[in-house]
Structure 1
């Protein structure tokens, strides 16, 4: 197992603790822990963050999430019967905010789909969850945060 490039948590403790605080707020948000973890896992898959995928899949398994849903998360659009309409709207929004194009992109369709399932507060909480996991992914990837060697159960 490799060590991180730099002790990033201790070199910038204010930023690190601030990001931890945002993540803790997301975990306690009105979205519910399973939806938050699904979003964090999907965004981490998109960004290729092995450390975060491993961590959030483990958290989902501890919460009772099935292997079937975890295995199909990256292909959720192909299996709409596996994920609720609310989860699909959240996943589409998370992907939209994660895959920002170089030019202007209209996200009205994804945003309007959210309105059918989420309150305004929940939409903002969801957006903060996406923003924070993208930040974690970039730090973990950039600093080479190693994946633990604990086997999955």
Structure 2
């Protein structure tokens, strides 16, 4: 597969905005392991091969287990995730599939595990990965090209540093 165009080079201003949101999320206090699960689950739903490759690599680099990554698409059927992670995954699915609605039940369960600020940040994490998924899928960013060691360089390049 060949990329259709270099959207980051052609429209760097909005990419800087996405990286700014990512920077906020990295420092917001939500667990990095939880954020990687959220990014991976949304990418599974959306079928974004590039983002799946990226976020499973990042998750592994931060100590995530193969077992939890392999079972993520069936998280409801496994004992591998905490109640907080389960709530975040249910929220991720509901916000990603927003046309199906975000039920009061999912909201209330998520609120049991996240305070208002955390829920706002969690929602931004879902919004952000859905944005990245849509860009990568639309412009056919080839999977297999991401390397965790190059992430900082990618962010610096996009931000104009």
Cα distance in 2 for residues equivalent to 1:31 and 1:23:
12
Residue 70 (structure 1) aligns with: 69
Structure 1 stretches (4+) deviating beyond 6 angstroms?
Answer: none
* TM-score, length basis structure 1: 0.91
CA deviation after TM superposition for structure 1 residue 33, in Å? 0.6
User: Whole-Å Cα distance in 2 between the matches of residues 32 and 150 of structure 1?
Assistant: 22
The aligned residue for residue 110 of structure 1 is 106
Aligned equivalent of 2:45: 46
CA-based RMSD of the aligned residues comes to 1.6
Distance 1:83 1:140 in 2: 28
Distance 1:65 1:106, change over 3 A: closer
| Structure 2, gaps ≥5 residues long | 148-161
Find the counterpart in structure 2 of residue 7 from structure 1.
6
Secondary structure in 1 aligned to 2:98? coil
CA distance in structure 1 between the partners assigned to 2:146 and 2:9 by the alignment: 24
Q: Kindly indicate whether the alpha-carbon contact (under 8 Å) linking 2:54 and 2:146 is maintained by their aligned counterparts in 1.
A: no
How many residues align? The count is 147
More helix by share: 2
1:20 has 2:19 as partner: yes
The answer to whether the 8 A contact 2:53-2:146 is kept is no
Aligned-partner SS, 2:84: helix
Runs (5+) with no aligned partner, structure 1: none
> 124-133 or 111-120, which moves further after superposition?
111-120
Are the aligned partners of 2:36 and 2:55 in contact in 1 as well (CA < 8 Å)? Answer: yes
TM-score by length of 2: 0.86
Does the 8 Å contact 2:3/2:140 carry over to 1? yes
